[in-house]
Amino acid sequence: MSETLSATTSINETDWLEAVKWNQDGLVAAIAQDYQTDRILMMAWMNRESLALTSEKKEAVYFSRSRQSLWHKGESSGHTQIVHEIRLDCDADVIVLKVEQLGGIACHTGRESCFYRVLTEDSPQKQWQSVDDVIKNPDEIYGKTK
């Protein structure tokens, strides 16, 4: 879509997917945010099909770049994301999903959020420090890993 959307432009049912600026791989960044607390839970990628399915099912469906396939969030962990709202940013190249995170765990590490590390700058050397507790051991969620 070559034209810039104004703040008052409404995307109708048939061309809403066309308004998204997909990258060269046909993907768009998608941020999952808790619909009540606004905490950012995770970032993943979506393709046209996963975004359409997310809108239809009202559950988050992403595109796994490593598996090159659709990924219904929670399909193996049970930690499904119920979608309350889908937003598109001003540049039309980032999606925000306002979600209810079932089980309270969005991260494969067993934490509430994938953003559990903070850059500490008060020591002689900067480092990433984990600040969120593991809610459930990932081995209990996904089975023992090798």
| Residue set of the binding site | 89-91, 93, 107, 114
Binding site for Zn(2+), by residue number, is 90, 107, 114
List the binding residues for Mg(2+). 89, 91, 93
Task: Show the 3-state SS of the chain.
Answer: CCCCCCCCCCCCCCCCHHHCCCCCCCEEEEEEEECCCCCEEEEEEEEHHHHHHHHHHCECEEEECCCCEEEECCCCCCCCEEEEEEEECCCCCEEEEEEEEHHHCCCCCCCCCCCCEEEECCCCCCEEEECCCCCCCHHHHHCCCC
